[in-house]
Structure 1
Amino acid sequence: MNLINYKLTFCLLILLSISKIGLGQDDISKVLNTWNKGSIPYAYFNNIPEADSILFLDTREKEEFDISHLKNAVWVGYKNFDEEKVLQTIPEKSQPIIVYCSIGVRSENIGEKLKKLGYTKILNLHGGIFDWKNKGGAVFNDKEVVTDSVHAFNKHWGKLLHEGVKVY
């Protein structure tokens, strides 16, 4: 093997090993690092405080919420997010809130709106309902019955949901 081929092969091996390191990272984390600004701190599935006072706000569309949501979550929506309704529903601005969506992108945007409204204790559920279900968390349908179905938003984002039955 001549020196040029040797150098090219060496460079190729370095690039392949670097790319394999990246493949080991969590896909949801990669997406969140790309799409989110980090303006709302994360709550993680394994570190959610066991407090009855935490209010979960579902920031997905109504049809997504009806298929599956976290226990006792309040639907606030995304496209039709109504600031006045939220202010009436949650009058206490220091209410601990965890916002979530499918993976945590839309919920960051709603978290920012809540922050502008004066709410002070807002966290964004890292990985959203997808990560919740992937890690064994229970989800509930519109009848408040445990379900295995999860609205997967669309086929592209649904690839991040590995547990449960995908509904589109």
Structure 2
Amino acid sequence: MKLITQILILLFSIFSFSQETMCDLLKNHNTKNIPYISVQELAMPKTEAIILDAREPKEYETSHIKNAIHIGYDNFNIETVSSIIKNKDMQIVVYCSIGIRSENIAKKLKKAGYTKVYNLYGGIFEWKNKDFNVYNSEATETESIHVFSKEWSQWLTKGIKVYE
């Protein structure tokens, strides 16, 4: 009986972890020092923003939001952004897969003096999950989304998951 109880507790623990919501995930990993912008708000025609992609090159080449500028994460360089975005009062939206790496990059932008920096809530996964278009390195619409890892892939519910 004790073994059955331990197995049930283990299964419940595994099931509970996998049922974590994206909201819970972001609460656990982000500090909320950077305000979020929703994918719906970013997609509105009246929203004028420079969109920065804080993922790695392979992720960006697989798919990205139209007109997003790739700035990377591992090799992020604030001088590169400063040479592209001179006006530090422009609205900037940073995104990654789900919104964790992008918050880290957004903090660096704020530290460098950019005043209107936002983190895209749910990142490109949420963008695709809400049926907004993404584009590959040839600027062609695609259904493929680089999911970063098997663990993070659970948050993408639409499109084709790409791992490499």
**5 Å matches for 1:109-120?**
109-120=104-115
Q: What TM-score do you get using the length of structure 1 for normalisation?
A: 0.83
Question: 1:158 is matched with which residue?
Answer: 153
Q: Distance in 2 between matches of 1:154 and 1:43?
A: 24
Q: Which residue of 1 aligns with 2:88?
A: 93
Question: Could you report, residue by residue, the CA deviation over 1:27-77 in whole angstroms, capped at 9, with x for unpaired residues?
Answer: 211110100000110001222353463111000001100000000000000
- Verify: 1:44 aligned to 2:57, yes or no: no
Change beyond 3 A, Cα 1:160–1:52: closer
Task: Name the structure 2 match of 1:141.
Answer: 136
Tell whether 2:119 aligns with 1:124.
Answer: yes
Query: Match of 2:108, as an amino acid?
Result: K
**1:66-105 matches, cutoff 5 A:** 66-105=61-100
Q: In 2, Cα distance between the equivalents of 1:120 and 1:74?
A: 18
* Selected match of 1:27 from 21, 26, 32: 21
Deviations 1:88-146 (A, max 9, x none): 01111011100000000000000000001100011100000001101111100001111
Task: Please report the RMSD computed on the Cα atoms of aligned residues, expressed in angstroms.
Answer: 1.8
Identity among equivalent pairs (%): 46
Amino acid at match of 2:91: P
1:115 counterpart SS class:
helix
Any gaps of 5 or more consecutive residues in structure 1? Answer: 1-15
